[in-house]
Structure 1
Amino acid sequence: MPKAKVTFEDVGVTVTVPAGTRLIEVSEKVGAGITYGCREGECCTCLTKIVAGGEHLTLPSILEAQVLKDNLAPRQHRLACQAQVLGGEIVVAPA
């Protein structure tokens, strides 16, 4: 199974996780500052800046894309409860 390295800039931690892992799951385990509310991709509280490696994440679902648009999220931002790692190296920070 492919693995990915995810770095959380706010806490200076890098972890290796299996492909398919959602960013919010990793954030919870390392104590990063990504907050969340619903975990269903509707509330936008887990908005996360993708500093590097966005190409190593799944594409936004229709729901996530609409929520990002409705909330005027800047480019390079994703919902941590929806974005899944595919492999490679990813660097994230709380929005």
Structure 2
Amino acid sequence: MEKATLTFTDVATTVTVPAGTRIIEMSEKVGSGITYGCREGECGTCLTHVIEGAENLSEPSVLELRVLAENMAGRKDRLACQCRILGGAAKVRPG
């Protein structure tokens, strides 16, 4: 199984995870400050800023794009509950 590297800059922690892992899953495990409410992509609470490696993340769904727009998110922001790391490396922090 392909692996990926995910860094949470707010807690200075880097983890190796299976490709396809949702950011929110690892955020909880490492104690990152990425908060969440619904875990369904509806509330926008888990807004996360992608510092590096956006090309290694899953494409945003129509739902994620809608919620990002509703929350006036920046171009480098994603929802941690919807976003998966597909390979390579990414650095994120709470948005």
Short-chain TM bin: over 0.9
Taking the TM superposition and a 5 Å limit, the aligned residue runs for 1:25-40 are: 25-40=25-40
* Separation in structure 1 between the aligned mates of residue 27 and residue 72 of structure 2, nearest angstrom: 23
The number of residues matched between the two structures is: 95
**What residue in structure 2 maps to residue 83 of structure 1?**
83
* Separation in structure 2 between the aligned mates of residue 51 and residue 2 of structure 1, nearest angstrom: 22
Query: TM-score, normalising length from structure 2?
Result: 0.98
Secondary structure of residue in 2 paired with 1:11: coil
**What residue in structure 2 maps to residue 51 of structure 1?**
51
Provide the aligned C-alpha RMSD in A. 0.5
Query: TM-score, normalising length from structure 1?
Result: 0.98
What displacement does 1:71 show?
1.2
Larger strand fraction of residues = 2
Name the aligned partner's letter for residue 13 of structure 1.
T
Consecutive unaligned residues of structure 1, counting only runs of 5 or more, are none
* Separation in structure 2 between the aligned mates of residue 93 and residue 33 of structure 1, nearest angstrom: 8
* Separation in structure 2 between the aligned mates of residue 3 and residue 84 of structure 1, nearest angstrom: 12
Percent identity reads: 63
**What residue in structure 2 maps to residue 13 of structure 1?**
13
Name the aligned partner's letter for residue 56 of structure 1.
N
Name the aligned partner's letter for residue 66 of structure 2.
Q
